[in-house]
Amino acid sequence: MDQLIESALPADGKLEAKKYIHDNEIPRLFECILAGLLYHRPSEPIQFVQSCVDFVSHKKGITLTWDMFIRWNPLSDTDSGDL
């Protein structure tokens, strides 16, 4: 992640970018989604990712855990999404 930031931003924006990524838990969000993708291996991976993002965006203050989309499959018709 640091290499991406280093190559993509001017020097004065690097610290702000790192702070933004950290403050918004972006790496943890990707970890949650990737774990769910690898566990469930949905036939519609983009829809799965979109459902995960939609779920998190509607649950302000939710604690992101690496296995949250393993415990709940966002594409399941039988689960309400209550974690």
Average pLDDT over residues 51-78: 87
What are 58-68's pLDDT values in tens digits?
A: 988 899 999 99
Q: What's the CA gap between 46 and 51, in Å, rounded?
A: 9
Residue 59, domain member (yes or no): yes
Residues 28 and 64 sit within 8 Å (Cβ to Cβ):
yes
Residue 6, domain member (yes or no): no
Average pLDDT over residues 4-12: 70
Q: What's the CA gap between 64 and 78, in Å, rounded?
A: 22
pLDDT at 80 over 60: no
Q: What's the CA gap between 27 and 6, in Å, rounded?
A: 16
Quote the tokens at residue 45.
């991976």
pLDDT at 13 over 70: yes
Quote the domain boundaries for residue 40. 25-77
DSSP 62: P
pLDDT for 27 equals 96
Higher local confidence (pLDDT), 7 or 5: 7
